[in-house]
A and B are shown apart, each in its own frame.
Chain A
Amino acid sequence: MTAVLKHELRGYFHSLTAYVFGAFLLAFVGIGALLYNIQAAVSNFEFVLNFSSLVFVVIVPILTMRVLAEERKQRTDQLLYSLPISTTQVVLGKYLALLTVYLIPLCVIAVYPLIFAQFGDVYLLTSYGSILAFFVMGAALIALGVFISSLTDNQGFAAGIGIAVILLNYYSVSLSEYVSSSTFGSVAALCVLILAFGAIVKHLTQNEHLAYAVCLVLAVLTAAACFLDGNGLEGLLPAVMTRLSLFDRFHSFVNGVFDMTSIVYYGSVIVFFLFLSVQSLEKRRYN
């Protein structure tokens, strides 16, 4: 794992990736600090982070797009498979390298509240709580990016899908106000989700029958839930959209609440997507 970690880090710092990523993040946070802390003279650094979280939509896909897609394209994945290291070690090594690249600009950012504290009262606990949450949220988005990169051998495609997914996640709370909250709306949305899930199952397992079976079982469950407790499904879709939003959970940290459930949630998202990435790589060995 350390071999992969060192190798990846060397790659990031020999190419522009790490620098572009750091520059973007620092520039965005810098602009935020200028607007909120200096021009508007607000002493809350957490507002800056809240403003800057939009930058993840662009920089996370840029950082993660090539991580596994490029291995596949250059056929270097064959080397990784034949080396005496497991797929889990490969994915973890790569992920830790990405976290390191992400952590470096964040260390610079962590100095800002201390600087502002020289000129007024800064709520340092909230600031650093938010910076920590900012790191964990970014880590969750990077895990998502790694998984998307594992699905294709085309970097551009991985970046495009990554931007779309993260943007959708960013706006999912706002969008949830516009979607239907009726039972029918929820059932329709569930059907779409079931079909999408079936498509992913089919892609990952290359097994049509399994995908159809999964879809059928889920559809039957939905129908059963609908007949048994139709009203229970009311408002399900907006609720799910709000729950799935990674950005929405960040607001509680900005508001001064260090929410452990959200940290656990981010942790589970990381584990979930890294697990899927390992499976996605393992699957390639089977067909």
Chain B
Amino acid sequence: MIEIEHLTKRYGEHTAVSDLSFTVESGGIYGFLGPNGAGKSTTMNIMTGCLSATEGRVKIGGYDVFEQPDKAKRLIGYLPEQPPLYMSETPEEYLRFVGEAKGLRGAELAGQIEEVIRQTRLTEVRRRRISALSKGYKQRVGIAQALLGNPAVIILDEPTVGLDPIQIIEIRDLIKELGRSHTVIFSSHILSEVQALCDQIIMIAKGKLVAFDRPENLEKHLLSPNEIILTTDAPADEALVLLNGIDHITDLSVKEESDGFATAHIKTDLSDVYTLSRAVFSAFAAAGKVLLEMTVKKANLEDIFLELTDSDPAEAGEPVKDAENTEESEAAEE
């Protein structure tokens, strides 16, 4: 559906996106993940034709965004980071304009406006001025705009930023719903959000692709679990003695809890963490102590993210903070 080939964007000396290539298949929800200033917004702006690329190509449904913008843009609905709304209009008037600009007419236009208003739950506020709406509603008007014309691809740039928890849940539900009938790409720097919603994760840092995989595969491939957390009713000093008697423990910390239990964090250098689980169980059973709880600590995306984005400081060039500032100052200049 979307092919990005060797995409590069330079702002003078600063490279925002460098040699980015990936292909997005039709259908499903794709999370576009990266720290601030990683080039997420720049890439999305280029994909939607809002920005030109210094080098490289973007194809949407086989149409080149730069050479056949008309055909390519008909396949995309885009919500930029700041929803592009005309504050003095009502959602209805605004959607009518966007629908007409997307080439919808007459009954089809009216029908689609009704449909997206229903989908984004704007019915209550459809005749209020956009300037008087809450941030959550404004965001939904922005999403409604992107849905008009029933585009195959929906691109949302940080759709949940600045919303309260209830609004965030609503937008996430909406994204899930959209994912059933469209290809949805949304960017975020919140890992849990991406983990919960996405079928695939596209992770970029400093303008480069660092990972593109399913969330569970990313966890599996990149970090194998090697940590166990356990709770026992033995006192802390006894637990420490027991654990010290077990081989292959590389890191050990035991803490006395207020209710007389002890919790311990242990790490191992064994490739199979369950070998350690068995050894711990046997040791405690032999001593007649009860294990109340034992969990293998799973790697989460946060760890993977930190590992991937920080793994290559030498190649990184500019620090992330600087990149962010440059982008901001450029936005201000524009």
Contact = CB atoms under 8 A, between A and B. Distances in A.
A243 interface: no
Given A2-B100, A81-B50, A83-B102, A74 B78 contact: no
Interface stretch (B85-93, B118-126, B206-214, B293-301): B85-93
A67 to B, nearest CB: 13
B52 A3 contact: no
Nearest to A5: B100
A interface bracket (residues with beta carbon within 8 Å of B)? 20 to 34
B100 A6 contact: yes
A82 B48 contact: yes
A82 B69 CA distance: 9
Nearest to B45: A78
B88 A15 contact: yes
Contact of A74 (B12, B87, B145): B87
B47 to A, nearest CB: 10
A268 interface: no
Given A78-B84, A84-B101, A84-B102, A286 B52 contact: yes
B70 A79 contact: no
A77 to B, nearest CB: 8
Contacts of B249: none
B103 interface: yes
Given A81-B49, A83-B101, A76 B84 contact: yes
A15 B131 CA distance: 14
Nearest to A72: B334
B88 A285 contact: no
B84 A3 contact: no
A153 B87 CA distance: 16
B74 interface: yes
B93 A10 contact: yes
Contacts of B82: 75, 78
A84 B85 contact: no
A81 B46 CA distance: 11
B242 interface: no
Interface residues of B, number: 33
Contacts of A75: 80, 82, 84
A11 B98 contact: no
B86 A85 contact: no
A255 interface: no
A136 to B, nearest CB: 29
Contacts of A72: 334
A76 B78 contact: no
A267 B13 CA distance: 41
Interface in A197-211: 206
Contacts of A11: 86, 88-89
B80 A78 contact: yes
A3 B85 contact: no
A79 B48 CA distance: 10
Contacts of A7: 97, 100-101
Contact of B103 (A76, A84, A153): A84
Interface string A1-35: 01110110011001100000000000000000000
A76 B51 CA distance: 14
Contacts of B76: 82
A287 interface: yes
Given A75-B80, A75-B82, A287-B11, A85 B50 contact: no
B73 A84 contact: yes
A86 interface: yes
A124 to B, nearest CB: 41
A72 B333 CA distance: 11
B52 to A, nearest CB: 5
A29 B12 CA distance: 51
Given A78-B50, A83-B98, A284 B86 contact: no
Given A84-B74, A86-B70, A74 B101 contact: no
A83 B80 CA distance: 12
Contacts of B84: 74-79
A76 B76 CA distance: 17
Interface centre among A4, A284, A287 (most CB of B within 10 A): A287
Nearest to B151: A84
A70 to B, nearest CB: 9
Given A81-B50, A82-B76, A74 B86 contact: yes
Contacts of B88: 11, 14-15
Interface string A214-258: 000000000000000000000000000000000000000000000
Contact of A82 (B11, B50, B71, B100): B50
A19 B70 CA distance: 36
7 contacts: A14-B88, A74-B84, A78-B50, A83-B98, A84-B71, A84-B102, A206-B12
Interface of B: 11-12, 45, 48-52, 69-71, 73-74, 76, 78, 80, 82, 84-89, 93, 97-98, 100-103, 145, 330, 334
Given A4-B101, A6-B100, A79-B80, 11 more contacts: A7-B100, A74-B87, A75-B82, A76-B85, A76-B86, A77-B84, A81-B50, A82-B73, A84-B102, A285-B51, A286-B52
